Structure 1
Amino acid sequence: MRSEQLPGAAAGGTGPVGPATANGPDPDGRTSARMLRISMLVLFLEAALLGVGAVVIGQTRPAPVAGHNALGLLALPFLVAGGAVVGLALSSGLVLPVVRSGELLARRAGGRPLWWQSALAVAATAPVAPFLGPWWWCGGWAALLLAVVVTARARRGGFVTLLAWGTLAVVSAGTLGGAALYSGVLVPYTPPRMSAEALVGSWTDGDGGTLTFTADGRVTARGVRYEEVGSPDSFETVSRECTGTGRWVYQPSDTPWRQSVEVTIDACSWVPWEVTGTDTDPVLYQYLGDPDAWDLYELRRAPR
């Protein structure tokens, strides 16, 4: 007697239903463990591509120079471990269920698994759409669907192939991004070039603190934050507010990245203020507090 076979269940899974989805291996070597590894790798590569894009685009946006913290390197293994846990949770709780549910619905209701998986991906990401906005939600849906499509085709040897092509894609994206910045296709950000005349006036932190520079080199502070060591036997800093008068000097440089404003008030202590922002919205900034935290403190030009 000839045994019946579901359409598309033959080796290769080329029919509308696709390969079998039992927990054990199918004729092409697909297993739950192999699908889980492939899914986690896809999510990692997508995160890497997103990171490369964020770095490249970030080079074109106004931003202060980040505070350097050598202790941050110690957190790298924990970040990697945390990312693996998140990838495992998303793969086992979202990607694999969408893969298997789409294949099950295709067998029972007809149609192709991809159609059902696309609809399930929409339903799975819909609850977070109001928090992400339409563009980020579409990106999240596409990322999930890509992980579903690749995971559904997990086969013996697929992990190494995906790792090779994925690594090439990430490296290529970084190379193209760097070339775009170097060639001027994407214009890298540079801080606005300031001058002593342009600095004259009041600058505010938006929370009541102001620095007022006058043309004769005098400065008046009202409630501007600064940090000082809490006690002689402790390296912990304490945030305080400075109110007083003193002197200020603009320090130009051959590059806008190194220009600064030195403010000297006897009752307070600051490192030189650096410049970021744009020509129409310049910003004076510095980092306060514990070097492990780097609290960014900004002053913007007060409305005249």
Structure 2
Amino acid sequence: MVQSAAEGQRAIPRGPVRVRGAGWAAAWLAGAVALAGEGVLALVVYFLAGLRDEHYFAAGVPAYVGYLFLSVVAMVLLGLAGLICSASVVLPVVQLSRWSARRKGRTETARWCLAVCGAAAAAAALCIGVPTALLGGGWTVLPLVLLLGFLGLAPAALSSRGVTVLRGTGARFGLAAAVLGCGLALSAVVFVGGLAAYGTGLIQEYEPPRLTETQLAGTWSDDQGGTLTLRADGTAVAGELGVHDADTAASGEAHEPCDGSGSWTKGASPSGTSQLDLDVSDCMAVSSWQFGGTEEQPTLFHWIGDPDSLKRHVLHRGASAQ
């Protein structure tokens, strides 16, 4: 029985083992891929959340190639940031966890490591939150930095600590690869799940406002002093309204401002959505304006040049016209 108890004690892991060169390289890599995975997940969540707000995407093969290129660049930058932050933050936290537990005469455990992560996040919150609050930014930044710091640091620190517990170089690098796989898999699940939620209507994607003739009537203005007044009787008056077309799309500069009167009607775009059809004294090169913004703060806009450029001339709602 004594021999059996001794064997059981030997089977219980007593915390991190002594780690040398290759082991710390694996720990560094595990922390880096964990941080990079968190970055990918954050980008996926940011993208999905953005679908609820007004957004426009370029289409066509060149645009898709551009999106692919930006995705590759983002992955490379996240990887580099992960490597730097793992070496400068994660590994020191793991070392501090091991050292502090040893100083206290305790076995370094995952809970102990989490406590050290909390202390590091609290220190970061104080260093960032207190000066921000004193400069007028508000005290809410302090708990926000604390929460984000802990959530960002804890998974990476636990992954690196897990490497230090394992024996064998192969197992340590295998854990780093597993962390990378789990991070990418989780991001893919969240991405597909989010798209499915939008596709099934569980989460409502952004839709432009459905403006009536009464809501369209009024004064609309751009950010350059131009105005467009739509009257309830179907007449329109433009004042210093910038006119853009394909020739000025590259520079973003408008032709001579449009001043004149004409007419307007609510029509339908080729895609079936509502739009404003405008005809003002032959000086309005673009006669079709689409609806944007929200029901509370609607906008009118038209594309400057190719819609794939995502350059728009936007008018904001003003006072109602009589």
Does TM, normalized by the shorter one, top 0.5?
A: yes
Partner SS, residue 253 of structure 2: strand
CA gap 1:118/1:248 in 2 versus in 1, 3 angstroms: same
Match of residue 118 from structure 1 = 118
- Residue 91 in 1 paired to residue 64 in 2? no
Alpha-carbon offset, residue 244 of structure 1: 1.0
Structure 1 partner of 2:274 = 259
Q: Contact conserved, 1:106 with 1:116, CA < 8 A, in 2?
A: no
**Alpha carbons of 1:289 and 1:126: their partners in 2 closer, same or farther (altered >3 Å)?**
farther
2:16 aligns with one of 5, 19, 39: 19
The equivalent residue for 1:6 is: none
State the secondary structure of the residue aligned to 1:168.
Answer: helix
Match of 1:142 in 2: 151
**Cα 1:140–1:289 shift into 2, 3 Å:** farther
Aligned twin of 1:28: none
Q: How does 1:1-304 map to 2 (within 5 A)?
A: 14-15=13-14, 18-20=15-17, 22-25=19-22, 31-61=23-53, 63-68=54-59, 70=63, 72-73=66-67, 74-109=69-104, 112-129=112-129, 130=132, 133=141, 136-137=144-145, 138-154=147-163, 155-205=172-222, 208-228=225-245, 236-240=250-254, 242-245=257-260, 246-252=262-268, 258-265=273-280, 266-270=282-286, 272-288=288-304, 294-304=310-320
Q: Secondary structure at the match of 1:284?
A: strand
SS of the aligned residue for 1:273 comes to strand
2:278 aligns to what SS in structure 1? strand
Check conservation: 2:276, 2:290, Cα contact below 8 A: yes
Larger RCO (CA within 8 A; separation ≥ 6): 2
* Runs (5+) with no aligned partner, structure 1: 1-9, 26-30
CA distance in 2, matches of 1:152, 1:222: 66
Q: Higher mean Cα deviation, 134-143 or 184-193?
A: 134-143
Contact conserved, 2:58 with 2:310, CA < 8 A, in 1? Answer: yes
The structure in which a higher percent of residues are helix is: 2
Q: Which runs of 5+ in 2 are unaligned?
A: 1-8, 107-111, 164-171
Alpha-carbon distance, 1:226 to partner: 4.0
- Equivalent pairs counted in the alignment come to 283
Q: Is the 8 A contact 2:234 2:263 kept in 1?
A: yes
For residue 109 of structure 1, report the CA deviation from its aligned partner: 4.3
Residue 288 of structure 1: how far off its partner (Å): 4.0
Using structure 2 for the length normalisation, give the TM-score.
0.72
Q: Distance in 2 between matches of 1:152 and 1:253?
A: 58
Q: Tell me by how many angstroms 1:12 deviates.
A: 8.8
Percent of aligned positions that are identical: 25
TM-score normalised by L of structure 1: 0.76
Aligned partner letter, 2:227: T
> RMSD across aligned C-alpha pairs, in angstroms?
3.5
